[in-house]
Amino acid sequence: MLLGWIFSTRIQGVVTAVRLTEVEAYMGAGDPASHAYRGRTSRTAPMFTAGGVIYVYLVYGVHNCVNVVTGEEGTAQAVLLRGGVPVAGRDAMENRRERSTDLTDGPGKLGQALGLTTQHSGLPIDGTLVSLQPGESPGRVATTPRIGISKATDRLWRFVAAE
């Protein structure tokens, strides 16, 4: 369970970190809503690796969404980071978002606040540019249908920290 973990990036020397409060699971094969469902493409290639990397993609030609690849090689399992709370580098986030509120409460916002774009897709989570470390697990976790997709919405693969 990734909820409560600390996800941090160091882009161009700027460190930003969030505590994850909202994530969604994507299972690759067998999950029609996953980009990897129809097989490997140049965009989804990072998802087919052995995990421990990030997968960033562009939606609607506008927003960068960040995933953590968790599966074994070929399984294309990934977890979409939908939301979190800033714990470091808040100034940098406000600067990137050009806003001081609602910095990281959505997938596209999170990607922008952390400074990640498609050119960072496939980066290893090894603490060099991107790191992920266990944090306190939230007391209560709500499990709900996923959001923003038109397929397989009956699968309860969205996890929200309910405090």
Interface residues toward DNA, by CB under 7 A: 26, 33-36, 38-39, 41-44, 47, 55, 57-63, 65, 67, 78, 80, 97, 99, 102, 106-110, 118, 147-151
CB of 120 to DNA, least distance (A): 14
* DSSP reduced 3-state for 2: coil
Q: What is the gyration radius of the CA atoms in the chain, in angstroms?
A: 15
CB of 37 to DNA, least distance (A): 8
Nearer to DNA, 62 or 140 (CB): 62
Nearer to DNA, 110 or 161 (CB): 110
Nearer to DNA, 91 or 102 (CB): 102
Cβ(44)–Cβ(76) below 8 Å: yes
Nearer to DNA, 5 or 26 (CB): 26
Cα 10 to Cα 41, 88, 125, distances in angstroms: 27, 11, 11
CB of 6 to DNA, least distance (A): 20
Q: Which residue has the tokens 């959505």?
A: 106
Nearest CA among 41, 2, 18, 36 for reference residue 111: 18
- Give the HSE-up count for residue 83: Cα atoms under 13 Å, Cβ half-sphere: 11
CB of 130 to DNA, least distance (A): 16
